[in-house]
Amino acid sequence: MLRRLHNLIRNQRGTVLVEFAFVAPIMITMFMGVFEVTRVVAAYMRLANAATIMAEMVAQQTTVSHTSTSSIPDFCNGGKLAMTPLPGSAFKANIVSVTNYSSGRAVDWNDTTCGSATAMSTTTAKSLATTVTPNTNDSVIIVQVTYAYTSPISYILRSSYTLVQTSYARPRAVSTPPIPYS
């Protein structure tokens, strides 16, 4: 009897299965968490790229006729394409031009054509432009983009995040960027 008990204790069959049963849920949870975090970070990086692309496109405009209301949707489409393969429907942008005049900083124009619900407040735009426009007659294009990211699995993290990025660009060919509604 004692010998049988001793053999039973020494028998290791099934130990791997029991260990796997303990470790598998932890490993699956870690894998899913890394997957979700990677997707959110990738979306955030794509959003930063989209903001920079839009700011550069607006900053390169040279005449009022090029920055017309027909050009702004093209800038928006460029930003949405930068978010590929994520859906562009959750992409929104607000484009602002701020100039530091001798009398102080002023918002030249503020565009919400890219789906932004509200225009950036004048106070916010001026404060964002403070360090970028130190000299008189300096201008800056500020593009603030938002993206409503929705996780495909939401196993570990929340199912949705609102990501925000801001990008700045100086006008290239003109000192003050043209008003887009001429």
Per-residue confidence (pLDDT) for residue 124, from 0 to 100: 85
Per-residue confidence (pLDDT) for residue 72, from 0 to 100: 83
pLDDT digits (tens, 9 = 90+) for 127-158: 888 888 888 888 899 999 999 999 888 778 88
> Mean pLDDT over residues 106-120, rounded?
85
Where in the chain are the domains?
2-169
Torsion angle, CA of 16/18/19/25, rounded to 10 degrees?
Answer: 130
The answer to whether the pTM exceeds 0.85 is no
Q: Alpha-carbon distance 34 to 36, whole Å? A: 6
pLDDT digits (tens, 9 = 90+) for 5-26: 677 677 777 788 888 999 999 9
